[in-house]
Homo-oligomer: A and B are copies of this chain.
């Protein structure tokens, strides 16, 4: 009475004078149905405001067109464009994204189990990694939804990842820094994860070791948070005499780089890039503003997302892929 319950296929069938199976067919692209009865059905459906219940459909088709997106790092403003591009690309494929917030109350495992119960078609880890939880992965039911990692190299065998090529990008950055005359580089790292073994840090450090025998000091922020970056820089500057300091700091991403610039300038009065040059990674829009004017390596976000979606739609083989991005040179180096 007060809540007019939704019209069902049976209601439409009655109104259109056909069986409910014919109604389903009218809403199934490519189904075998006479043109005149499809029109009749759609007309009645519109009149009754009928739209197929996707829950019921999913129950039999075993596909929900839902993808879970796991995010654990809301302090990093680059997550916003990632979410934007990802949701738009999914929606273009008639899919939708369930955004799951990973934090101390809700870990990766709970999130995957939860997503699994909701029968999502896939789980995408966005710029996050399992760390030591990787081991627990084996406790997951064998029938869990397929996992993918976006914008971070996968540390877990058999889990495909789409990321920006660390080797190529670091080569471009190092070439630029070397050409600019920098000789005392430092590296600021984010969360410690197993992936560092393959990641940006190692490629960066290997270059300087080979090229000049330099051991690059690591400033460990511990997380991709500008406050953590500030803290790590503070610690380094306080315990390092001016003469021995690095002349350029490569930051694992833009969020760190921005924290570093802020702290270097306003807390230590350093000029960027004269006293300390800074390089970021991601290509966050914020870093492009005149205040920061940060040299950064832009990740090919659109292509990465397109590649990932091709995988999960089965249009392309699911395996880890590294794509090249683009070095954007600005005033911070």
A171 within 8 A of B: no
Chain A interface mostly helix, strand, loop or mixed?
Answer: mixed
The residue that A291 contacts in the complex, of B75, B79, B83, B292, with Cβ under 8 A, is B292
A105, B84: Cβ atoms closer than 8 Å:
no
B74 near A80 with CB under 8 A, answer: yes
Q: What distance in Å separates the Cβ of A120 from its nearest Cβ neighbour in chain B?
A: 10
- Which of B51, B87, B100 is A96 in contact with, Cβ under 8 Å? B100
For residue A141, CB closer than 8 A to chain B, the reply is yes
Task: Tell me the minimal C-beta distance from A46 to chain B in angstroms.
Answer: 10
- Most central of A49, A69, A262 by chain B CB within 10 Å: A49
A97 and B96 contacting across the interface, CB-CB below 8 Å: no
The reply to whether the CB of A119 lies closer than 8 angstroms to some CB of chain B is yes
A21-60 contact mask (Cβ, 8 Å, vs B): 1 or 0: 0000000000000000000000000000101111110110
User: Which residues of B sit under 8 angstroms from A69, Cβ to Cβ?
Assistant: 99
Most buried by B among A81, A91, A105: A91
- Complex contacts, A49 vs chain B, CB 8 Å: 141-143
In the complex, identify which listed stretch (A2-10, A201-209, A242-250) lies at the interface while the others stay far away.
A2-10
Is the C-beta of A103 less than 8 angstroms from some C-beta in chain B? yes
In contact, B114 and A101 (Cβ under 8 angstroms): no
Please state the number of chain copies in the assembly. Answer: 2
> A143 is contacted by which of B4, B66, B106 (Cβ under 8 Å)?
B4
Inter-subunit contact B84/A119 (CB<8 Å): no
Distance of A79 Cα from B329 Cα, bound (Å): 28
| Chain A residues bordering chain B, tally (CB within 8 A) | 59
Tell me the complex Cα distance, A124–B258, Å: 32
Instruction: Determine if A310 is an interface residue (Cβ-Cβ < 8 Å).
Output: no
Q: B80 touching A84 by the CB < 8 A rule?
A: no
B55 touches A59 (CB 8 A): yes
CA distance A100 to B91 in the complex (A): 8
Inter-subunit contact B80/A105 (CB<8 Å): no
- Cβ of A117 within 8 Å of any chain B Cβ, yes or no, is yes
Q: In the complex, what distance in Å separates the CA atom of A290 from the CA atom of B262?
A: 7
**Pairwise interchain contact B92-A105, C-beta atoms closer than 8 A:** yes
Chain B residue contacts of A119, Cβ below 8 A: 53-55
Say if the beta carbon of A289 comes within 8 Å of chain B. Answer: yes
A56–B53 touching, CB < 8 Å: no
Closest beta carbon of chain B to A50's beta carbon, Å = 8
A53 to B62: give the CA distance in the assembly, Å: 11
Proximity bits, A68-85, B CB within 8 Å = 1, else 0: 010000110101110110
Expressed in whole angstroms, the Cα–Cα distance for A170 and B50 within the complex equals 45
Mark A167-181 against chain B: 1 for CB-CB distance below 8 A, else 0. Answer: 000000000000000
Is the CB–CB distance between B117 and A88 below 8 Å?
no
Whether A99 contacts B74 in the complex (CB less than 8 A), given A49-B143, A119-B53, A143-B3, comes out as no
| In the complex, the 5 A-B pairs of residues with the closest C-beta atoms, listed nearest first | A49-B141, A266-B290, A74-B84, A87-B101, A99-B99
